[in-house]
A and B are shown apart, each in its own frame.
Chain A
Amino acid sequence: MAKSTIYAGLEIGTSKICVVVGEAKRDGTIKILGVGTAPSRGVRKGEIVDFQKVQTVLNDALVRAEEPSDVMIRTVFLGVTGGHIKSLNSRGAWRLQEDQGEITEDDVEEAKEIARNVEIPQDHVFLHSITRQYIVDGQEGVRQPIGREGRVLEADYHIIHGVRGRIQNAVKCVREVPLEVEDVVFTAIAAAQVVLNREAKAQGALMIDIGGGTADYVLYEDGMIAASGCVPLGGDHITQDIAMAVQIPDRRAEELKVTEGSCIFDDLSPEDIVRVEDDNGFMIAECERSFLNEVIHLRVREIFEQVKTRCEGHIGHLAAGIYLTGGTSLLKGIDVVAQDVFERKVTRAGSAPVSGVTATFEKPQFSAPIGLIRYAQILDQEKPFMSPLRKLGRKMADLLSVVP
């Protein structure tokens, strides 16, 4: 097809704003052409609070991504997150007409419509509705029901929804840059596309993308998405805990977390003291390493426990275990805590299956933005090819079926 397959993904994170330009090839691989990041400002817990600051930083990131890739970015896939994003699974059953043998496209549409018609809070909008499976006469796990024989068709959907206003604000902010938003994607969904491979999804896996402000998670079971959501806790909370415990400014606490922090506080001697210096090299605070680590440990454990309570009932089915990604997953000992909480195998993962200037971007921080490119690619592949003639035919059929 003549259509360009170069996509741009934009993630406005709490700690960094990241633009990724990637080429989605026809064979299903991705080549990353350029990545531009800039430390984020004006974002709290994954949500934009200060438009102007975000736009300034976003322009920086945009330029940095455009330069190496030699691409003029006009439209982006925007990753959104935030504590307001919730998910649910819904099924819709559609009974076929008596004289009808095979399931047709219209039946599938009808079942989908019923499944999508679920109660969500009034101010919420659908972000994604992902087909999990079809069930034909009680037979589960059907991927492609059209053409099958059956009486009852059920569509099983995973629906992710969020507060309309907040999602729109993110889109608005990006539009003012100006950039066109091609699609809005929940970041966890995007990240999962590159972190989890087909096998992991089939076996059952929980991906947790712990970023600066939020921990987004997606849980796959039998190759189907089973749960997803966002815990609005992240690296910033760890930093804040340290800042308040050790009584140092946030910036120092962040530094301390990255350089010295760990989640393991056992077996540390009381003599092991961590010192915090200011810009001039003067010591402004010091504390025991075990104390620092315990502060971090408590928060990390809490984040995992929050995720765990939200995935209740699914944890037992995770043969592939837990996949940690996102900037905070670089924290030392975080896998031990995850192992402790979930009692499953824990893998720390970045985005593996991409080519291009990859080496730099296999870091877990870039899972979500690279995932956006992958998401765009999948979306393009799934789009059913329809010749213009066929389209016309369908339109005519529609018209004829509704004679007043």
Chain B
Amino acid sequence: MVEYDRKALKETIEPGSLKTCIVGVGGAGGNVLDRITLDRTVEAKLVTVHTDIRVLSHSMSPHKVQLGVELMRGIGAGGDPELGREAAVFSREQIREAVDGHDIVFICTGLGGGTGSGAAPVIAEIAKGTGALVFLTATMPFSFEGKRRLKQAEESLDQLQKRADALILFENNRMGELTLPKDGIQKAFTQADQLIAQSLRAVSTILSTPGLVKLGLDDLTAALNTSNGRCLFGFGEARGQNRGSEAVKRALKSPLIDQGRLLHQTKTLLVHIAGGESLTLLEVDAIMKLLGKNVPDQTHILFGVAVDAKLGDSVCVTLLSSLGLAQLNTVAAAAPPVDMLPVKDRPMPSIMDNLGAPAAHAPAPASAPSPTLIPATAAAPAPRASKSSLRAELAKSAPATEPMDLLFRSEEIAAPAAPTSITSAPLPLSVEEVSAPEFEPEPEPESFLEEEPQAEAEAVAEATFEEEPSPFADEIIIEQPMAAAHIPEPEPEPEPVQPVRPPRPRIEDFITQPAPRPAPLPTTSLAAVVGRAPAPAAEDAPYMPGSRLASKVSEDDEQIAFRFGSEEDRGRFQKTEPVLADGGEDLDVPTWMRLKRKLKR
């Protein structure tokens, strides 16, 4: 008998035992850390890292590391990333000490300044060296901070992308302007800090709490599309009645999601629902239903549920996703928020969008990021798989740089391979995008098929009309040869409706137009001709003034009018919106006139 191995079924890592460390680098990072410390929301080691001793002394976090004590002497980096980097390299031992022994290291920083932009890459590298997962949460500078800071931020970002496992990028512009356009700058910054703190907390909760439906790092990276996207993040918590829908509403209210509007464009969305023990399946169902209204059907929803006794009777909903920028972030970061929001019809040739696309279709999220590129990693266990594949991607974009190198020379950082490979990458991908639409026209044949029953219906209608005892019926028999003389033959399917009809009228048009004139004199109208022409043959009629004019009507006019009626046939309803029946008939044209034409056919 084979002993059933129970141990093998156990998870190797106790979920609760994940050790997290949050490092705030520079002024912005420190602020976020202060916020986290005050809120006491995340169970993690909090480390503030700064060059400036005065700022550091005001920081509220329990652990502090001063960078480059001898080099900087407690003075800030003065907006020079080079100085910040030097200082970090100087104090690398202290940093390693602070970071060592953690499973996940979050680094939050504000890019663009000296310490943040300069030291963050170094810290990321050190953290990586200790074997932790490195998450980077960074803010891009406000546009009013100037081009130079922006450039510094981008350079730093380039380096960070190679070293972090996942990058959550926030746009200060958007956070500030969308949250509180009129409020004080301090409030705007506070708001931004709060958002970042929330996102950190959410991510760490997602990763660390045991889930009923677990979300892992792989899902996170899939949702974040790291290298070229800005983060969409929404968090809502509510308790009491309808707490589920309330939480969703709050999550959608997040400025980064723009009332849920930005979610319309995402390819992947991570949804995490956490609640106390009272969380019911119905609530989860309701939450997902509500969310479904804001998310297009084709979006890949990564869904997770966790029960956390700490939450008590409240429910938290976290939405996380990212949007690729229209251009590489180097260009787009400076753009005002309006440009940031990708317009639907504008193509977005971003690398990660395309890399993310196969992930959305991949059966197992474990092999998510681009199985096409590195099939070998697909078999690896889940978190490692995404990590190694991510690294493979990084290596691909910058083959010269081995991010684990601790020597950290500037030549390496500014590896010229990186930008060129990024710019060249979209080329083949854009070809893919161009070819993609070719699949789309498939449904069209269906619409052609649909027309047939309509035609049948018409035929039936005709048949019923013919059965009716009608004075017209007599005329028709006599009419046949005459009609043939008038109308050459309706050989090419009578011209489509559109050319005959004016463009869809709008109210404004009507207002400026003079009132529709009274019906045109019937003598010129086709109606008179078609209706009346055969009459004299059938009976002698003194009341047929129109019949004399029959020959005046040109043949091509008649052809256009053959089925649908010309503009003139519509009489006083010219220039109004046509009333169309199912078969495309224009109901504004007199019924008898249309009936007559049908019979003639």
Contacts and interface: CB of A to CB of B under 8 A. Distances in A.
Interface of A: 41-42, 44-45, 47-51, 53, 83, 95, 97-98, 106, 110, 117, 165-166, 169, 231-233, 236-237, 240-241, 243-245, 247-251, 265-266, 270, 285-287, 290-291, 294-295, 298-299, 301-302, 306, 309, 400-404
Contact of B591 (A241, A250, A401): A241
B571 A240 contact: yes
A247 B528 contact: yes
Contacts of A298: 591-592, 595
Given A245-B592, A402-B238, A404-B237, A240 B519 contact: yes
Given A244-B522, A250-B519, A294-B470, A403 B240 contact: yes
Given A243-B522, A244-B571, A404-B237, A98 B531 contact: no
A241 B592 contact: yes
A50 B238 contact: no
Contact of B510 (A49, A236, A295): A49
B543 interface: yes
B282 interface: yes
B241 interface: yes
The 6 closest A-B pairs by CB, nearest first: A247-B522, A401-B240, A49-B510, A241-B590, A298-B591, A244-B527
Nearest to B246: A402
Nearest to A237: B588
Nearest to B249: A402
Nearest to B236: A404
Given A247-B546, A294-B592, A403-B240, A51 B511 contact: yes
A237 B569 CA distance: 12
Interface in B114-159: none
Interface string B554-565: 000000000000
A367 B330 CA distance: 67
B401 interface: no
B458 interface: no
Given A243-B571, A244-B590, A247-B545, A44 B516 contact: yes
B519 A401 contact: no
Given A232-B579, A295-B590, A299-B591, A401 B242 contact: yes
Given A98-B282, A244-B525, A291-B471, A249 B240 contact: no
Contacts, number: 140
Contact of A53 (B239, B285, B471, B515): B515
Contacts of A233: 579, 587
A302 B586 CA distance: 12
B293 interface: yes
Question: Residue among B519, B569, B576 with the most chain A CB within 10 A?
Answer: B519
Interface of B: 237-243, 245-246, 250, 280, 282-283, 285-286, 293, 469-472, 506-507, 510-511, 513, 515-516, 518-519, 522-523, 525, 527-528, 531-532, 539, 543, 545-546, 569, 571-573, 576-577, 579, 581-582, 587-588, 590-593, 595
Given A47-B507, A106-B242, A265-B471, 5 more contacts: A50-B511, A110-B242, A244-B528, A294-B472, A294-B592
Given A243-B519, A244-B522, A244-B525, A294 B241 contact: no
Contacts of A95: 282, 285-286
Contacts of B591: 241, 295, 298-299, 301-302
B324 to A, nearest CB: 26
Nearest to A113: B245
Contacts of B280: 97-98
Nearest to B239: A403
Contacts of A241: 590-593
B592 to A, nearest CB: 5
Nearest to B282: A95
Nearest to B543: A286
Given A299-B591, A400-B240, A247 B571 contact: no
A144 to B, nearest CB: 21
29 contacts: A41-B515, A44-B510, A49-B511, A49-B516, A97-B283, A106-B242, A169-B507, A237-B587, A237-B588, A240-B588, A241-B593, A243-B572, A244-B519, A244-B528, A244-B593, A245-B593, A250-B519, A251-B518, A285-B543, A291-B471, A294-B471, A294-B592, A295-B591, A295-B592, A299-B590, A302-B591, A401-B240, A403-B239, A404-B250
A306 B569 CA distance: 20
A249 B507 contact: no
A105 to B, nearest CB: 11
Nearest to A170: B507
A243 to B, nearest CB: 5
Contact of B531 (A245, A290, A403): A245
B282 to A, nearest CB: 5
Given A51-B511, A285-B543, A302 B587 contact: yes
Contact of B576 (A44, A231, A251): A44
